[in-house]
Amino acid sequence: MPVYTGETFDARTTRSETLPDLGSDEGHREPFHFISSPGSWECIDLLELATLHSQQAGIELAEAQRDLDIDPDVRWEWVPRLKKFHHTPGVNGVSARAGGLARALGEYRGAGWTIIEPDQGPGGTSYIRRLQTRRGTRYVDAWTSYVPVGIGRMAPRFDDVGWLQWRRELVREGIVQAPPPEVLEGATDLVSREIGRLESRSHLPHIQTKIELLMQKLAGMRAGRFPVASSTRPTRSKRAKA
């Protein structure tokens, strides 16, 4: 004879006042897919990424670079920008009918977007996190957490290293394909224009410093490097096969 026992219930967890209040503009009522447009890429500074990681982990820069699988000779790398496609009925073609979300995502896929499934998140886990808050359930990405900052206020804390590393991994594993060179030219052109705009004020020391940084970035962008799979470090798909 089966014996039915209920799960452990803690009444405190159901009291709304014990739940965090993220405020009106943090988190989202609906879950989401990350999507990538072939026309939206950005060039990131790997040195800055490794420096941040070494500071956070309290390790040497070289160790941080090894940890993140960064070639010390490569400073700039192209990664995709990602957008959240919220599962909100009524938005961008999502119908409330059964299959409405799949149809809308299909339209985006047909237009050339890459749809990244939630289970392709960091370490093979979902990239969506669900939070119970005073205003109801909220969905955030895996790299966003919240910390209390004063009475009744919460501030987001973001894992920049994890986020950038995951976007690199998406390219390494071929989930997001590298774009045609024309896309990179468009983004590079914007940096060239910014340098041109700043040059009229290059006599100011802080502007000169900014121009030098942009020149470095421009050279890095023109080098056109993308994250590549390490020969020594297995990617997630290789790990799964093993």
| Positions that interact with another protein (CB under 8 A) | 24-26, 28, 30, 34-35, 37, 39-40, 42, 44, 81-86, 88-97, 100, 103-104, 107-108, 111, 113, 141, 143-144, 156, 158, 160, 163-164, 186, 190, 193-194, 197, 200-201
Shortest gap between Cβ of 235 and another protein (angstroms)?
21
Those residues whose C-beta lies under 8 Å from the C-beta of residue 198, and which sit 6 or more positions away, are: 207, 210, 211, 214
Q: Let me know: does 173 contact 235? Beta carbons within 8 Å.
A: yes
**Tally of CB atoms within 10 A around 82:** 21
Closer to another protein by Cβ: residue 38 or 224: 38
Q: How far is the CB of 177 from another protein (least distance, A)?
A: 15
- Closer of 2 and 110 to another protein (Cβ): 110
Residue 135 neighbours by CB distance under 10 Å: 16
Nearer to another protein, 181 or 234 (CB): 181
| 181 in Cβ contact with 37 (< 8 Å) | no
* Shortest spacing between CB 62 and another protein, in angstroms: 23
Residue with smaller CB distance to another protein, 107 or 119: 107
| Per-position DSSP letters for 31-63, written without gaps between them | -EEEEE-TT-EEEEEHHHHHHHHHHHHT--HHH
- The distance of closest approach from Cβ of residue 218 to another protein in the complex, given in angstroms and rounded to an integer, is 13
